[in-house]
Amino acid sequence: IRFGPHSFTAMAPQQRSPLRPRDLLLLCALALACVSIGSAASIPERDVAAQEAEWRHALAEATQPVGADEDEIHIHVVSHSHDDTGWLRTVDEYYEYEVSYILDSVVTCLLENAARRFIQVEIAYFERWWHDQEEARKEQVRMLVDEGRLQFVQGGWCMHDEAVTNYVSQINQLTEGHTFLLKEFGPAAIPRIAWHIDPFGASNMSPGLFADAGYEAFVINRVDYRLKEWMKKEKQLEFVWRGSKSLGEQAQMFAHVMDSHYNTPRWFDWEHGVSQNLPGGDGPPPVITNPPSFRTKENALRRAKEFVAMARHRQGWYKTQHILIPFGSDFNFQNALMKFKNMDKMIDTINANSQELKATAQYSTLTDYFDAVHATNLEWNVTQVDFFPYIDNNASYWSGFYSSRPDLKQLSRETDATLRASDILLALTNACLGLDSDNTEAAVEPTEAAPAGKAQRASIGIVQDVRERDSGDSCPPSAVAYNRTAMFVGQQFLRRAAAVSQHHDAVTGTERKHVYKDYAARLQHGFGESELVSQALVAQLFGAGSDGTLDFSASPQYFADLVKGGVPVAVPVFNPLEFTRTDVLMLPIGTTAVTVTDADGNQLPYEVTDTFSHGASLPYDLFVRVTVPPLGYSTIVVAPSASNHRSESEAAEAEGDVTLSNEYVQVSFASGAGGAPVLASMSDAGGLYNTSLSQAVLYYTPFNGSQTSGAYIFRPDPATPATPVPVRSGRSHIGAVVQQVQQVFNESGISVVTRIFPGLDPISGSAVHQAMHVGPVQVNESSLLGKEVVTRYESALSSGHRFYTDNNGMEMQLRVRNLAGRPGDNDTGVALAGNYYPVVSRMFIRDEDGNGRAEGARQLSVVTAHTHGGSSLAEGAMELMVHRRLLRDDGRGVGQALNDTSEVTARVALLLSAQKDAARHHRRMANVVQYPLKPFFAGLPQSGLAKYITSYSPLAQDLPENIRIISLKALRADVDTVILRVMNVFEAGEDPSLSQSTTIDLATLFSGLQLGNVQERTLTGLMQSSKNVRPTWHVVDAPPEGESAQGVVSGAVGRTSAASYEVTLQPMQIRTFWISLTSP
């Protein structure tokens, strides 16, 4: 791993230099000082007797007089509490039992002493606490914030995970917290530092996103223990992190790796010391300056010497004389007075004896610390690496959580898609209808979600007087009185449920079971509320809100009930993407006697087939090919028919070879054991790019030892190869709208449906879609082990040892297979787990040598709908972990086995193409898979659709292929400001034409809507982009004078005239605007 001119290679144990006895004692003392009982996923403890001996000897060494040649050190005590928004308790339980008392206690103590400081991270808790306070208390807190004594760091709704979360979800949860801070505190509360001390590894996309949000530095903690060891030795724990290959130094950030852990050094944790089993059994001694009697001695100077000795040793791992000492841990400061009172005396004693100790100390915020480091004007090394997978000892790669609780990962991503659709619909409806007539209506709490099969008309969408539609006005006729406040409140349920689910112990699947159920319930409730909002908004845009004749629902069961009851159904199909989209809509249905037309009565391509979906409640599926405009909808009509339209090409069983083919792709299945279909090959329609391609479902058996697989850890048994599950049976269907093969495996709950769709565009048409159902995973409970289920693809591509996975859905990261393992890996099972990486949206392999092909190298990509762990364990192979059910805990704090009995249907798309075209394919399909078409349903009135707006799009035209609108959402209910984020979704160098700077004009982006008040903001909207002036750090590999790093563009909108707002986007660049959208 490169750090400027340095490189890191983990040393085998026999290569390490011997330590002197004094060094060893101090190292032992400091290693113990980094661990506190009760911290999330804490490092395993040593033998208690050995700890006592190490402490006694090490502390004796550490309190020797300071040498004359020692430099003065500056100790920055950073008070914090790491408050997980769910883990062992739910977010509500944590707040009521712990966090509310922490905030009460901390604020009181800060007001008592102006020297004290505290950093607050999770806004999900702070916002709740804030609304419980009297106005007088709020004013006191505003004073603390204005004076810098209470500092918000990170400032998101939660501390999100960096491995399994999508970048849009990260932005959304940060925005949720930052919007609250800006509204309540103004510029004084703007977070300047990113603080990610507990996520399990760190993504190199984070520095770029955080830099764009206005952060100036980044604190991380959990990196490979061997790398951290090397960093300490080489004083490389601080560096400039230039994460994005495309954006260069524009996306770089100064990074600080915590030398030990985020806990208070163990000998100085007065609040929780009693539980630490230290010598004497009753925790660290308090700092005593005025003994209460002759029986107690003053110890302040001795304790100060111990503290300085600890800090000096840590400071030796950094380049400057400044050392950050964390003062806090999980849910600390419930007794803030105890902590602050002792540390007050510690700091006062150090400063009173600073000449003797050659040290000063102070309470600091993170801004204080990084300002001091920046002022040293030193030169720093640069790195572009990410820090996956994380490992904390030689047997424990944290690559299991990439796949833990897949149903929660799937639900999180599906609700993100729902949130995007309803956010866009809300912004567009607001633009058409404007503010509430008096803008004073109180927010209405939405009701529970509609039961399946029933449509609820939300009271939040009540309309009264109808205005006429003017010529050229793209907005439909609708109500003058429109309660946008109530709409926003309904939408807020899902925004906040989605935000809290990005927490590093939520979507990761590393929480306790009742907490997992709580996250799922929040998402499901938010989904229901958002659907009610969307239904009302579609009615408004459709022009149906004025008379109530159309009662819209988003429930597929409601649609099926109407059709089965002989009622024609109007189906507006919403496209949440920014390009015109021809795709196939799949709807479960209970009858085959239907016909499908567009809104003008023209028949559409459709067919009804027996359902291939696992566990489906309805016997048939309706497939309809539709074309939908960008960010808009078009309407189809599904009506009863006297004829049976079940496809005649349906076969009960697949016999012999089966081939699925359309204009762009061909997939072949051979006859396997017992005649069941098995995947055999894939090619483009012309056969130019082809490969043998097999797919297997297998499971790993966890290692039966002290360290086994669990919620966090993946540790397969090195002596047991992955066990295949054979295909038992199958069936196929070859039609004009859909072609599909179903494989049922020889273990209940496992099936794969493979589909292709004729009649689509070259990119969508070349995708091979798969739906893999797994669960409940069958296990032998008496074995106390479990299973980890994977799907593996094997091809003829010459991929060598290389494969590529995405980081958070953004740039692709090269991975190099190393089955022998890294130095120190305990066995081949551990080494295998170390080859697993997070696959958030896609992975691929390619011909690394061109394979001697005149037509060029091939690339095989797998696009996923939610996050999996993935790897390439052999040339030409890729695998994804689909499910995990484990019967033992892995010892990382959660205290429960991952005995997950859920079912999940993982959706993926396979793409085989020329390497030169591959980025166009996987970039487009990642969005198509993530954001499917969204239908709404209403019984068709006898009068038909003539008076309704059956097609609508707010965009003047499709956006360029490399440009995405990643956000179009209302900022708040009480203003007409809309957040607009646009992004160039290609990375530098991956496509000859699309990996280029691209300019769009915001003034001509929308049709029938008036754009105004355009203001460029930082990523989350905290400040104007022109004010995002971050410190410059001197780096070893700085570009020569006059040159700049690739992709450096930011700042104000390029406004060329009063009617033009031209915006240029470099590869991977996101630009954020506050705009107003109104109806002309």
Which sequence positions are flagged as catalytic?
Answer: 198
Q: Residue 644 burial by CB count (10 A; 0-12/13-18/19+): exposed, middle or buried?
A: exposed
Contact 365, 127 (CB under 8 A): no
Residue 830's φ and ψ, nearest 5 degrees, are -65, -45
As a whole number of angstroms, the distance between CA 728 and CA 22 comes to: 65
As a whole number of angstroms, the distance between CA 244 and CA 926 comes to: 19
Helix 167-185 crosses helix 484-500 at what angle (to 10 degrees)?
A: 120
Contact 576, 417 (CB under 8 A): yes
As a whole number of angstroms, the distance between CA 464 and CA 460 comes to: 12
Contact 862, 878 (CB under 8 A): yes
Nearest in space to 938 (alpha carbons), one of 930, 948, 925: 948
Nearest in space to 409 (alpha carbons), one of 508, 516, 495, 494: 508
As a whole number of angstroms, the distance between CA 566 and CA 594 comes to: 9
CA torsion 942-947-948-953 (nearest 10°) is 150
As a whole number of angstroms, the distance between CA 510 and CA 413 comes to: 17
Nearest in space to 330 (alpha carbons), one of 257, 260, 258, 263: 263
Mapped onto helix, strand or coil, the DSSP state of residue 528 is: helix
- What DSSP assignment string belongs to 576-614? -SSS-EEEEEEEEES-S-EEEEETTS-B--EEEEE--ST
- Whole-number Cα distances in Å, 664 to 682, 685, 763, 929: 11, 5, 8, 18
Contact 467, 482 (CB under 8 A): no
As a whole number of angstroms, the distance between CA 90 and CA 158 comes to: 13
Nearest in space to 889 (alpha carbons), one of 715, 722, 699, 720: 715
- CA-only gyration radius of the chain, Å: 30
Q: State the CB neighbour count (10 A cutoff) for residue 196.
A: 24
Reading the block at residue 39, the tokens are: 């911290």
For residue 211, how many C-alpha atoms fall within 13 Å in the half-sphere facing its CB? 28
Beta strands 904-914; 842-846: pairing state: unpaired
**What's the maximum distance between 2 C-alpha atoms anywhere in the chain?**
102
As a whole number of angstroms, the distance between CA 900 and CA 861 comes to: 29
As a whole number of angstroms, the distance between CA 320 and CA 317 comes to: 9
Token pair 């056969």: residue: 687
Contact 490, 458 (CB under 8 A): yes
As a whole number of angstroms, the distance between CA 979 and CA 970 comes to: 6
End-to-end CA distance of the chain: 56
DSSP category for residue 781:
G
Token pair 């070349």: residue: 766
Contact 70, 104 (CB under 8 A): no
Contact 837, 880 (CB under 8 A): no
Reading the block at residue 114, the tokens are: 């102006």
Strand spans (E) along 817-956: 837-839, 842-846, 858-864, 868-871, 877-886, 904-914, 934-935, 938-939, 951-952
Beta strands 620-628; 723-725: pairing state: unpaired
